[in-house]
Every structure is written in C-alpha cells, then in structure tokens.
Amino acid sequence: MAGVPGAEISAWQPRLDGVLEVLHARFTNHAYPMHAHDSWTLLIIDDGAVKYDLDRHERGAFGDLVTLLPPFVPHNGAAATPLGFRKRVLYLTPDRLPSRLVGASVDDSGFADPALRHRVSRLHRLIREPGEDLEAESHLADVIERLRARFGFPALPDRLDRTPAYLLRDLLEEHVVPGISLKQASASLHFNPAYLVRSFSREFGMSPHQYLISRRVDLARRLILAGDPLWSVAAGSGFYDQPHLDRHFKRILGVSPTGFAGRKVATSRSG
C-alpha cells in the first residue's frame, strides 16, 4: 500500500452473494481514524491485536475472538502492540443480519467462539478457490445462522422436515454440469438457505456441495470411459478447470483422471 510503511493489503469483490468485499491486511504503523461502513464487518485476527473505539467505549480484537461491527456505527482501529496485527475481514450486506441486531453487536462486538472463528476462517479459504461457490455459500449460511443465534435470534429448528433435502437433491441432479447457487435453490424451493443445507446434510450425511462434486466426478469417469479426450472432460462434467477436476477426482477415486484413463486402456487391452 503506497504511502503507508509496514502495510500489506489484498482486497477484492468475491462471487459470493451477501459478501460485498473481502479484505486481508497486515499493519504495523497505520491507525484507522473514526469511520463507518454501510455493511456488517466480520473480523478475525490472525496475529497481534487491535484496539478500537465503538460507541465511545474502547474494545479489542485478538486471538480466538470473532468481531462483528454493525453498519453505520463509527469506529476506529490501531495495533495494540508495536508488532502490529494481521486480519481477515468479510464485509456483509446489511440484509444478511436483522437490523435489530445492531444494538446487541455494539454492546458485545467481540466474543470468544473458536468454532465460529474456524468456520469464518474456512470461508475465507473457500472464497479463493475457483469452482467451490456452492460450498462457500453453504458456509456463509452457516456463519450467518450462528451469528443470529449468538445474539439471541432463534436458530432454525432442530427437527427438520426431510422433504427439502430430497427436493434439493432433485434440483442438484438437474444442474450437475451447469451448477446452481444456494440462493437460486432457496428461491426455487422456497426454503431458507441454512435450513436447506442442514436438512440435506442431516438426511444424506454430506453437504449439497459434496454431493454435487461427487456427481460431477461420477460423470467425469463415464466421459473418460466413453473415450472423451481428457482436455474436454473437466468442462463436460461441470468443473471449473482441469486442476479443479484433478483435485476432486483424485480425492474421491484415489487416482488422477490421467491415471484412470490409463488403467481403462490397459483393462480393455487385457480383455
């Protein structure tokens, strides 16, 4: 970042509905003045600590804490030690959380929740992986539901109807190659996204994303056995690119697409 010594910043707009911006940053000398956002700021600290003022009270972010700052409420921020800090931030659209949660998040902006912190951290990794959009959407829905529950807004009921799971499975089967977003599935089936994911995962023992990937691998192996050239199999089975196919194909089948094709040829010759 030009003009700010000791600063490293990476920021981008992800292809994830509900997330306006992702920010990864390390600061040693810079101090944010009082400012405000039009979004929810979901923050985790990877190294060091941050001190900030929110609603005229001094707060801190560090370690296993998850920090949630509400939209339109001014705050500042600076390193709490000379070593600085490293943070990862998701800026969520205002509609992702109820406006009634603003007061509660001002009173309790930073809280210890290692499980939620782990999920937020994993969401940051998924956002950067091409072709993992459905899994990122599912993780975001889970994070939102846990934040709602943390601040006293009822989570979705534990006794889930099995019907949404089968409706979603049928929808995934209709979109194995083109794919479908969780938002589109939710709108089509008229169920809350988090409810859909929980119902599906409980019924089938795997997430919707895992199911879709397994079906794409299943299709890829059939294309290979049918003699399709390897360069066309990834697109033909719905994967983002060849490395995306290779990674999941080997994870599920224990062999790369190239290795699988080679074994197919060897088997046909021996027969």
Tens digit of pLDDT for each residue in 149-194? 998 886 655 566 789 999 999 999 999 999 999 999 999 999 999 9
In this structure, the chain runs to a length of: 271
- Binning pLDDT at 50, 70 and 90, where does residue 6 land? low
| Distance separating alpha carbons of residues 53 and 57, to the nearest angstrom | 5
Tens digit of pLDDT for each residue in 29-39? 888 888 889 99
Contact yes or no for 119/171 (Cβ under 8 A): no
Give the type of residue at 22.
V
Which pair of tokens denotes residue 2?
Answer: 């030009």
Which pair of tokens denotes residue 1?
Answer: 């970042």
Say whether pTM exceeds 0.75: yes
